[in-house]
Amino acid sequence: MAKKLTRETARAIYQRLAEANPAPDTELHYKSVYTLLVAVVLSAQATDEGVNKATKTLFPVANTPQKMVALGETKLGGYIKTIGLWRNKAKNVIALSEKLIAEHGGKVPNDRAALEALPGVGRKTANVVMNVAFGAPTIAVDTHIFRIGNRTGLAPGKTPLDVERGLEKITPPAFLHGAHHWLILHGRYICKARKPECWRCVIADLCAFKDKTPAPNADGLAQPSVKKTSAKKKTARKLSAAPKLRAASKPKSKSKSKKKVSV
């Protein structure tokens, strides 16, 4: 876990991310607050690209809670079966649509607690809807933002909630609304899980991550990092490589065999 950064460094990080992407937004396609909610629910453990392919044909047919309930769980499954965990998601989308009709007049509530009370909606989903649809300064911590918070030192934490609270504290108010999008896009395309592309990162010199990835060579392979070896280790290697002297072996004494005397 990287050392936590200062507020000054955090401000500089957001400033650079904002300059690189002045108007960040979600990559999920939606047409209303309700379709945004459905898209975010479907995006759990799935890619935005995969969700967008499914909702491209779904939303023209069912873009309100009433139409979604009328469509039904079985037919909904046919639209979203290319998405992971689609059976459970279909059940949740129908259930949350029914609850929106019964308790909220068919409208998506502008309240995190009310959103989290809907089937299939957790804190992360509620934060995304609050931020994108209602402009709330919430930060939804997914796998990318959790990695960024720990790797860069912005908000080290053992749980998503720890990272979320850490980011809320260290992020300057002016950057709170866009923080979620800047960080998730940075984690998705630059600060990747296995091989972060540090050589083209705009915040590389501010990041606390030590094992930065070098730029690839002409063949597209990463340049091997050169590690400095201390004088003590060099001396030890030389000694281990030197031929070892063997002690002279003592000549074996010949034991006199006793002849057996037959009686």
Residue 161: what pLDDT?
97
- Mean pLDDT, range 104-124, rounded to an integer: 97
Residue 217: what pLDDT?
77
Closest CA to 39 of 31, 47, 30: 30
* Annotated catalytic residue, options 89, 107, 142, 244: 142
Residue 63: what pLDDT?
98
**pLDDT over 60 (residue 249):** no
The larger pLDDT score, comparing residue 142 to residue 3, is at 142
Closest CA to 148 of 209, 211, 228: 209
How far, in whole angstroms, is CA 74 from its chain's centroid? 32
124 is catalytic: yes
**pLDDT over 70 (residue 262):** no
Domains within the chain, CATH numbers bracketed? 7-24+139-200 (1.10.1670.10), 33-134 (1.10.340.30)
* Annotated catalytic residue, options 31, 124, 232, 256: 124
Cα–Cα distance list, 196 to 47, 114, 163, 175 (Å): 19, 37, 20, 24
Residue 170: what pLDDT?
97
**pLDDT over 80 (residue 124):** yes
Q: How far apart are CA 154 and CA 241, in angstroms?
A: 45
Structure tokens at 89: 């998601």
Residue 260: what pLDDT?
43
Cβ 161 vs Cβ 207: under 8 Å: no
Q: How far apart are CA 129 and CA 37, in angstroms?
A: 6
Count CB-CB contacts under 10 A for residue 35. Answer: 20
- pLDDT classification of 66: cutoffs 50, 70, 90: very high
Task: Compute the mean pLDDT over every residue in the chain, rounded to the nearest whole number.
Answer: 88
Residue 244: what pLDDT?
53
Residue 259: what pLDDT?
43
Residue 199 is classified by DSSP as G
- Mean pLDDT, range 118-138, rounded to an integer: 97
Q: How far apart are CA 101 and CA 114, in angstroms?
A: 13
Tell me the pLDDT tens digit for each residue of 143-178.
999 999 999 999 999 999 999 999 999 999 999 999
Q: How far apart are CA 70 and CA 81, in angstroms?
A: 18
211 is catalytic: no
**pLDDT over 70 (residue 123):** yes
- Mean pLDDT, range 203-222, rounded to an integer: 83
